Amino acid sequence: MTTLSTNSTFSVLPTSPHLPVVHHIVTIKLTRDNYLLWRAQIVPYLRGQHLFGFLDGSRPAPLPTLTVTIVGISTPQPNPDYQAWIVQDQMILSALISSLIENILAYVVKCTTSREVWLTLERMFTAHSRARTMNIHYQLSTLQKGDSSIADYFYKFTGLVDTLAAIDQPLKQEEQLSFLLAGLGSEYESFVTTIQMRTDLISIESLYRHLPSHELRMAQAQPKVDLSLAGAHFASHGGSSSRGGRGGRFSTSSQSGHNSFGQRTNRGRGRGRGSSTNGSRPTCQVCGKLGHVALTCYHRFDNSYSSDSNMQAFLATPQSLTDDN
């Protein structure tokens, strides 16, 4: 009678004939800056294939050999479980290596098992991943809507939140709401207050459905400016200022000018001040009326007009402007 005794128990290892499709599922190769995203692709896939135990150590390698006893004679024999384990582990190792860029591959080229590769990469990138997570939290805390639209602001916000979720560091719903509301400007103060006073917790998706309509209402509430009226107002004031400037020019000249009798005129000085202090409408130095200046006054060369004889004589003398020079 033949007896068989072993120091190891045979076990059936699940095989994964579809493991090579990992090249199509893991689309992001590991670089120095995306370890958490890369890991987020690898872990769910291998767990779904019941193979993550090869990486976390929960499925260690069986003994390479078994002791078979036949008629009292013990003989070492290769362990079929070990051979199956080696085949599966090397498939996982190949899948991991194929998802690394060349610069990272240089660090794990001496590793012989998938677990060795996994632990090496984990030691390399753990500190970097922690810094990456902190950096994303900082970006969320400083994110501001500013002059961007609600759609653009929400896109940036969800991008950061989704990145944290992808690297297995998801934010709680309350934390997401706090970050999102804190980045809105002061014009959303009433909206933020309304959300904060709610007794129930609103979801991010429900909150976003209200934000565009609130943005639209604020845009419609902005006062509208009629550019045609503004242009006409500018032209009116610009023309008056220009005419007033010419009037002021004669006022300045009249302050130091002389009349036809060689006497310094003081009345012209008074007229000049009147033209500059009468709002935007100039005062004529000849007839004293509002709305025009001496250059355009039809009484300027009328010798019979005696409303202001001294100023009339001054303006009628061409040399009065050159005497001061």
Report pLDDT digits (tens) over 214-248. Answer: 777 777 766 665 555 555 555 565 544 444 444 44
In whole angstroms, give the CA distance from residue 119 to residue 242. 82
Pull the structure tokens for residue 248.
Answer: 């002021």
Q: What 3 state SS string does 137-177 have?
A: HHHHHHCCCCCCCHHHHHHHHHHHHHHHHHCCCCCCHHHHH
Burial class (CB in 10 A: 0-12, 13-18, 19+), 267: middle
Q: Which two tokens stand for residue 136?
A: 């994303």
What pTM does this model have? Answer: 0.46
- Dihedral (CA of 214, 216, 217, 218) sign: positive
pLDDT recorded at residue 230: 55
Measured from the Cβ of residue 307, the count of other Cβ atoms closer than 10 Å reads 13
As a whole number of angstroms, the distance between CA 224 and CA 221 comes to 9
How far apart are the C-alpha atoms of 225 and 216, rounded to whole Å?
18
pLDDT of 252 higher than 60 = no
Tokens of 19: 């493991």
Query: For 11-20, 121-130, 171-180, which range has the lowest pLDDT when averaged over its residues?
Result: 11-20
Mean pLDDT for all residues in the chain: 74
- For 48-97, how does the pLDDT look when each residue is reduced to its tens digit (9 = 90+)? 889 999 999 999 999 999 888 887 788 888 999 999 999 999 999 999 99
**pLDDT range class, residue 129, cuts 50, 70, 90:** confident
Q: CA-CA-CA-CA torsion for 100, 106, 110, 116, nearest 10 degrees?
A: -40
Q: What's the pLDDT score for residue 223?
A: 64
Smallest Cα–Cα separation from 97: which of 88, 109, 80, 115? 109
| Cα Rg, the chain, nearest whole Å | 46
113: left (phi over 0), alpha (psi -120 to 50) or beta: beta
Phi, psi of 280 (to 5 degrees): -95, 0
Q: Which residues contact 169 (CB under 8 A, 6 or more apart)?
A: 36, 133
Nearest to 77 by CA among 15, 4, 13: 4
Written as six digits, the tokens of 40 are 């987020």
Where is mean pLDDT largest: 15-29, 109-123, 158-172?
Answer: 109-123
For the chain, the domains span: 19-128, 143-221, 246-321
User: Residue 72 has what pLDDT?
Assistant: 79
Question: Is 251:276 a contact under the CB 8 Å cutoff?
Answer: yes
Maximum distance among all Cα pairs of the chain, rounded to whole angstroms: 157
Please write the tens of the pLDDT for every residue from 182-205: 999 888 888 888 888 888 888 888
pLDDT band at 142 (very low <50, low <70, confident <90, very high): very high
Q: Where are the beta strands (DSSP E) in the chain?
A: 65-70, 73-78
Is 261's pLDDT higher than 90?
no
Measuring CA to CA, which residue among 50, 45, 43 is closest to residue 168? 43
- pLDDT given for residue 88 in this prediction: 93
Q: What is the pLDDT of residue 202?
A: 86
